[in-house]
Structure 1
Amino acid sequence: MSTPPQSPQPADQPPQQPAQQPSVPPQPTAYPYPNPQSPPPGAFYAQPTLVGQPAPGQPMPGQPQPGNPYVQPLPYGPMPPAPNAGGAGRAVLWAVVGAVVASAAWAAGVFLIGGKSDSADLRGYSAPSDMCTSADYSSFKDEYTENDSSPTHTSLKDTALDESYCSLNLKKTGSSYADAYLTLQLDLHRKTDPGPEFTATWKNYGESHEGYDVDPVEGIGDEAYLVSHDTTSGSSSSGSRYAMLAIRDGWTTYTMSYSAYLSSYDQDKNPPALTDVSDWLKTDAKATLKQLRD
């Protein structure tokens, strides 16, 4: 069976082009910052028409090549007119050079400002290797007169975090064993801002831990919370009393906590009231933070 002849296309008709594929929308990138060469949102810059200006879609002089923000083109862009081109040529030359210099300076400024905003706000604090000898807890010494001969202390030094920790046994006069316990911890967050998580943890501590009271404390750092818990219910032989002060000053956090168990006290040696303990924590925490900034 013969194939019917196809009708020839007119000679002046261009060949049919394949259907254009829909353009792919821009994809998200893991790099969270805008292109340093892009103007800030809302800004408008009138672009002059220059001799030798790249076609639309091509990078301007001094801009990174598409797909690779680190590879820079030659800094000169289009070849400038010859020196004898007259005043118009010199004007074009200075316009091109000015655009390149301004673009480079603006990009450098963005990088410098971005570096400052990303740096850790440690407020001048330093993390000691031995927190037990560096912290102030003198307010507790009138109540607990016996010194702990072997307190526990640890420290951590890292590019992301510096940490100092101390644990002390508090003893009243004549006690063979600890009557109460005191823990101190300083953290210098060098890579991440602890603010949002700090607030979420301590401001809402009473909601996630039944029976705990949370009170904001003014005048210490950027924010501070006092967390307390008393299960003695008027008893002199059972239950416990607990209080902790959590402080954030910039990217530095400090916690100081006290705990006492009535089962370890004699009948005539009841632990101090939580109102007294709370005052001691505030006084000593302020003194400690001042010492660690000097």
Structure 2
Amino acid sequence: MITEPEMVDSSDDGDGDRPGGVEAVEAIEQGPLPPGGAAGRPGGAWWHRPWAWALAGVLVTSAVWAGVLRSTHDDDSGTPDLHGYHLTESPCTGQNLQPLVDRLSATTVSSDDGPVITGSTLDHVSCDLTGDTSAGDGWSTSYTISVTVDLHKKTDPSPEFEDAVKVAVSAPGGTLFGGYGYVPATDQHTEPLSGLGDRAYLTTGTFSQSVNVQHGGAVFSLSVSADNAWNGEGAPPTKADGAAERPLVADTRAYAAELPRTVRHLMSVLAKP
């Protein structure tokens, strides 16, 4: 389940209506009480002194941030919070990758399941789901949905996450699809996504769409690419034959909007007990 960090309530320290940290501020400011108690102290009560409120605010803020930091780790050792995500089998199924699979309207679907690798520091899986469609004119399009999930058990992946996304997008020469050649990196655009994990990015281009999410110690990557194939008789038609050209690498821009919803669904599936 994807949730926001719980804030620590420090509005009551057991003294009724006094803000958390007040007793510490009062002790620091007042020192030992004079004869007669607090009523005999010159200068009035502690709340007449503005700097005391400032110090109380610092103490309260520190308590809140301490709560936020505790909520992002399993314990005080700094172990990343996996938010209940776990890997038991390949996530590349038509049910797990909704609504993208339905949006592709593939006539046949097959999976290439990579093994789930588990270890003391990392659990990992990479897999593909392929869906084929036919245009009814001798051409077919094969869509490949690729999924990678890494569960970091010991080391926080945050420092490397954003750099890894940038490297994948700006790699010299672009991205290789289906052995047909490289798609220039200048064709791709990356933008942040809100509401997914701790941080997420959507990368779009003419031929490939991908989303990368980091949530605690879990890192998810989901992408879709496609290529066209001629399945008709003889050689594929050309412009000379009056036919529209079909590039070997297919345009997948129409499916970019489905990726954030699909990875959100996948995350919810992998977080189920």
TM-score range, shorter chain: 0.5 to 0.7
Matched, 1:167 2:128: yes
Partner of 1:277: 255
Of residues 207, 210, 228 in structure 1, which corresponds to 2:204?
Answer: 228
1:148 alignment partner in structure 2: 109
Cα distance, 1:153 vs. partner?
A: 2.9
Counterpart of 2:83 (choices 123, 127, 148) is 123
Change (3 A) 1:143 1:272: farther
- Describe the shift of the 1:147–1:269 C-alpha distance in structure 2 as closer, same or farther (beyond 3 A): farther
After superposition, what is the alpha-carbon deviation per residue over 1:148-180, rounded to whole angstroms, capped at 9, x for unaligned? 245333210111111122211121147897612
Give the aligned partner of residue 248 of structure 1: 214
**Is the alpha carbon distance of 1:169 and 1:206 closer, same or farther for their aligned partners in structure 2, counting shifts above 3 Å?**
closer
Larger radius of gyration: 1
> How far did residue 264 of structure 1 move?
6.0
Q: Does residue 169 of structure 2 align to residue 189 of structure 1?
A: no
In the aligned structure 2, how far is the partner of 1:264 from the partner of 1:154?
32
Aligned residues: 171
Mark the runs of 5 or more structure 2 residues left unpaired by the alignment: 1-72, 173-184, 237-243
Letter in 2 for 1:222: D
Q: For residue 221 of structure 1, report the CA deviation from its aligned partner.
A: 0.7
Decide which moves more: 193-202 or 131-140: 131-140
Displacement after TM superposition at 1:273 (Å): 4.7
How far, CA to CA, are the matches of 2:148 and 2:169 in structure 1?
21
Q: Distance in 2 between matches of 1:166 and 1:114?
A: 28
Corresponding residue for 1:180?
143
Report the Cα distance in structure 2 between the residues aligned to 1:170 and 1:147, rounded to whole angstroms.
Answer: 6
Structure 2 letter corresponding to 1:245: V
Distance apart, 1:261 and its partner CA? 2.5
Paired position in structure 1 for 2:44? none
- Which has a greater percent of strand? 2
Aligned-partner residue type, residue 152 of structure 1? D
- Aligned counterpart, 2:92: 132
User: What amino acid does structure 1 have at the position aligned with 2:210?
Assistant: M
- The alpha-carbon deviation at position 127 of structure 1 amounts to 1.3
The residue that corresponds to 1:293 in the other structure is 271
Residues 122, 252 of structure 1: 8 Å contact kept: yes
Q: Match for residue 31 of structure 1?
A: none
* Greater length-normalized contact order (CA 8 Å, ≥ 6 residues apart): 2
1:199 aligned partner: 162
Q: Residue 130 of structure 2 aligns to a residue in which SS?
A: strand
Among all aligned residue pairs of Structure 1 and Structure 2, give the percentage whose two residues are the same amino acid: 22
Q: Could you say if the C-alpha distance between residues 169 and 264 of structure 1 is closer, same or farther in structure 2, counting changes exceeding 3 Å?
A: farther
TM-score scaled to structure 1, two decimals?
A: 0.50
Contact 1:122 1:188 in 2 (8 A): yes
Structure 1's consecutive aligned runs of 4 or more residues displaced over 4 angstroms after TM superposition are 173-178, 203-209, 262-273
The letter of the residue matching 2:225 is: S
Partner of residue 226 from structure 2, selected from 224, 247, 260: 260
Distance 1:170 1:114 in 2: 39
For residues 261 and 116 of structure 1, what CA distance do their matches in structure 2 show? 49
Distance 1:124 1:269, change over 3 A: farther
Indicate if the aligned counterparts of 1:132 and 1:153 stay in contact, CA closer than 8 A.
no
Matching residue's letter, 1:282: P
Whether the aligned pair in 2 keeps the contact of 1:128 and 1:164 (CA below 8 Å) is: no
Supply the distance in 2 between the matched residues of 1:281 and 1:146 (Cα, whole angstroms).
Answer: 20
| Structure 1 unmatched ranges of 5 or more | 1-112, 231-240
Distance 2:75 2:101 in 1: 43
How has the CA–CA distance of structure 1 residues 176 and 119 changed in structure 2, closer, same or farther, with 3 Å as cutoff?
same
Q: Work out whether residues 217 and 225 of structure 1, in 8 Å CA contact, stay in contact via their aligned partners in 2.
A: yes
